[in-house]
Amino acid sequence: MSKKICFKCQKSFTINNQSTSHFELKCSECGGQAFFYSHRFRPPKATEDKRWQVVKFLYDNGFKYQHISINEPDRHGILRFTNFARYPEKMIDALEFVETYKNQAMK
């Protein structure tokens, strides 16, 4: 299962990604363009406009709530996976997130 989201309606819908092409997603509410997202995405409430602006900003910069790895140097200076990054909920944090993890953005 995956999700489709509509930025206009600020809603998320669970979909069966085996039967729906993410290139043809339409919003169930307004009929406008919907976007394919990972099942990990936890949408804000429709009334949380600022959080939806963050979601849109992240989407526009290639972050669709896919796993983002945090890699830190070990004692030899070799980068090793340590954890997954948490997605930001505030725009100021989203700006830093995009800059920090831009090499992991989806093209």
Q: Is the pLDDT of residue 18 over 70?
A: no
Domain interval for residue 11 = 1-43
Q: Is the pLDDT of residue 50 over 60?
A: yes
Asked whether residue 76 falls in the same domain as residue 103, the answer is: yes
Q: Where are the alpha helices (DSSP H) in 1-107?
A: 49-60, 91-100
What is this structure's pTM?
A: 0.83
Average pLDDT over residues 12-19: 75
Q: Is the pLDDT of residue 24 over 70?
A: no
Residue bearing the bigger pLDDT, 27 or 24: 27
Give the number of domains in the chain: 2
Asked whether residue 57 falls in the same domain as residue 68, the answer is: yes
Please tell me the distance from the alpha carbon of residue 58 to that of residue 30, in angstroms, as a whole number. 22
Cβ–Cβ under 8 Å, residues 54 and 7: no
At 23, the pLDDT band (50, 70, 90 cuts) reads low
